[in-house]
Amino acid sequence: MENRPQWGTRSGFILAAIGSAVGLGNIWRFPAVAYENGGGAFFIPYLFALLTAGIPLLILEFTIGHKYRGSSPLSFARMNKKWEWLGWWQVAVSFVISTYYAAIIAWSGSYAFFSFGEKWGKDSEGFLFGSYLKLADKAGDVGGIVPGVFWPMVLVWGITFFVLLKGIKKGIEVANKIMIPTLVVLFMVIVVRALTLDGAAQGLDAFFKPNWDTIADPKVWVAAYGQIFFSLSIGFAIMITYSSYLPKKTDLTNSAFITGFANSGFELLAGIGVFAALGFMAQQAGVPVSEVVAGGVGLAFVVFPQIISEFPAFNGLFGFLFFTCLVLAGLTSLISIVETFVAGVQEKFKVSRTKAVLVGGGLSSLFSILIATKGGLYFLDSADYFINQFGVALAGLVEVVAVAWVMKELKNLQKHTNEISDVMVGTWWRICLGVITPIVLGYMMVQNIITNIKENYGGYPTGFLLYTGWGVAIGAIVLGFVFAAIKWDKDISVSSKGVSQ
């Protein structure tokens, strides 16, 4: 086995994997997706998706990283040199996501302090887009840098660099051992408080009440698979990279089940907390819960400030706790995202970890300045949509098809994971990855392409989407081939035979 850094403990790895999976989307995406796709009935396709795609894909990526002992590009190169570009594509996707993820964490940090005194006033929407983001009039206008976003983002990058420079065991592992328990405790406090608010039962009823008619709708099942796929950090190099730091003897399947169910458990907790709070807001406004449901940026930075302002007591404290949770969830994910290209650069060019962090992270932080401008939200929105739909999801589809059908590596990977795991994987695992996942992801991709050809995402001008959306997604693929064409340092063994298995 190569002299490769390792996690100090298996629990450290699992916490880091959970930290990567539990991100902003768990809190602001899942509750709305579940509500819009059948409420309580949605949990059936959601659980099915977790068991047939989420956990099987986690096992696959854990096994690839553990077996081939490398970053995503090196692992794919060792599996088959012709597929190294896929690893670099995934790394490029992570790079793009890191540039705007840091900005959202910066917003969350700012709002944690805005909570004291409720700086957003009576018009939280006007405050967000006007006073805070100083949003430009139209997409494509950059405008100047917004100091209120820029300086908190500098702090976010500073924390990220500090953790990554400390390394795997003393940096990422220690950070997650502090941040994840803190996140869970703080979020539990918020959920308990939300459940005691007037109208909480009304909100929970809206969230859990099943609409059984939706079970027959293919779009609901696709939404369930999409939620599982996007929330587990699969398809963009993270889990392959993290698992490459595992000791030789590690239970991979158990680790995948723990990570998958922990992530889903947090999503359920988020749904309970969010809808209890939305029920309170609906009752205060005298409207049905359906009229106050929101997701994404709108939920976090428009609706929740309104809810916090309505709290009967300790408004500032609970606002601070909520946005601190967003910061913690975001930071653990950002650290894992940046680690993918730090590892790739370090191995490809045989440079020190410090240099890889400063070069890789430094480039990302420079690009992120664009998101700290007055037009930043437009760039963020477009890049986020296209890099997720035609980066993360498409790269995941190509990965399973390449491994299962082109390289025909599933049996070899199955043998590897079964040799070191308590829970055996067999024919069902191969069917999930070779048949079910490609069909669902393929259907998702076709529908996404048709939708985006018919109408421009977000109503943005075509010219704007060509370079902020389509251009970014296609550019990530091109970068994959460019980096794969560069020769590895002579001291790096790209042959799988040089890897102790």
If we measure between CA atoms, which residue out of 389, 408, 339, 377 comes closest to residue 100? 377
Rounded to an integer, what distance in angstroms lies between the CA atom of residue 337 and that of residue 157? 12
- Say whether domain 10-498 belongs to CATH 1.20.1740.10: yes
Eight-class DSSP state of 373:
B
- What are the CA-CA distances from residue 325 to residues 110, 231, 274 (Å)? 13, 17, 13
pTM, to two decimals? 0.95
- The alpha-carbon radius of gyration of the chain (Å, integer) is 22
Per-domain boundaries in the chain: 10-498
Mean pLDDT, range 40-63, rounded to an integer: 96
Residue 421, helix vs strand vs coil: coil
**Phi and psi at residue 300, in whole multiples of 5°?**
-70, -45
If we measure between CA atoms, which residue out of 181, 110, 184, 119 comes closest to residue 152? 110
Q: Please enumerate in sequence order all residues whose Cβ is within 8 A of that of 351, keeping only pairs 6 or more positions apart, or say none.
A: 345, 359
Under a CB-based contact definition with an 8 Å cutoff, are residues 202 and 276 in contact?
no
Q: What is the pLDDT of residues 166-217, one digit of tens each?
A: 999 999 999 999 999 999 999 999 999 999 999 999 999 999 999 999 998 9
Q: Please enumerate in sequence order all residues whose Cβ is within 8 A of that of 342, keeping only pairs 6 or more positions apart, or say none.
A: 164, 353, 356, 357, 360, 361
Neighbours of 286 (CB within 10 A): 6
pLDDT at 498: 47
Q: What is the pLDDT of residues 321-360, one digit of tens each?
A: 999 999 999 999 999 999 999 999 999 999 999 999 999 9
If we measure between CA atoms, which residue out of 23, 29, 452 comes closest to residue 238? 23
Under a CB-based contact definition with an 8 Å cutoff, are residues 191 and 197 in contact?
no
Under a CB-based contact definition with an 8 Å cutoff, are residues 166 and 177 in contact?
no
Neighbours of 45 (CB within 10 A): 23
pLDDT value at 499 more than 80: no
Rounded to an integer, what distance in angstroms lies between the CA atom of residue 327 and that of residue 107? 9
